[in-house]
Amino acid sequence: MMLLELILVLLMITLALFIHEMGHALALIMSVKKAKAEVYVGSSSKEKKLRFRIGRITCYVNIAISGVCYSVVPEELPPTTSKQQAIFLVGGPIASILSFIALYLVSTLISGVIGAIITGIAFICLITFIMTLMPITYPAFLGGLPSDGLQLLTIFKENRKQRKAVL
């Protein structure tokens, strides 16, 4: 029974991460014409993963506790602006918090095991929202990459530095 519960929790985490990374991907393709996105839930390897495509988004998914979204911008396009980069970065946390709200509201209407599972996914989305906005570098077992919050902070600092240099 405990193994089944562990698998269920890992599936819930995977779903919450997928929602978060899809938020990044949607923000990218909406803000940068002709850009494509690659969503990885698990390592950033393409091997041994469920692969599917949704428009300009290619997804590589397996059961995991981390995820990442990469932008694939054609070379003929100009580099993305700091505003486009910020939109890309906030897309994930926005998807996570909106999913928390929606799933939590739905869970109040459904009782039993299914309601509990939906509540669990909702709260994992909330935790994902909070953890990704904290300006930290994740430990190696979670990918070792800077959080969305840390990357946003870096963009804001760079913009402030550039504005001061112009004055």
The domain ranges of the chain are 2-166
* Rounded Cα distance, 51 and 60, in Å: 5
Closest CA to 152 of 128, 166, 132: 132
The pLDDT mean for the chain works out to 93
User: What is the average per-residue pLDDT within 103-132?
Assistant: 97
Other C-beta atoms closer than 10 Å to the C-beta of 50 total 11
> Using one digit for the tens of pLDDT, what is the confidence trace for 27-84?
999 998 889 999 999 887 888 899 999 999 999 999 999 999 999 878 888 888 999 9
pTM above 0.75, yes or no: yes
pLDDT at 163: 81
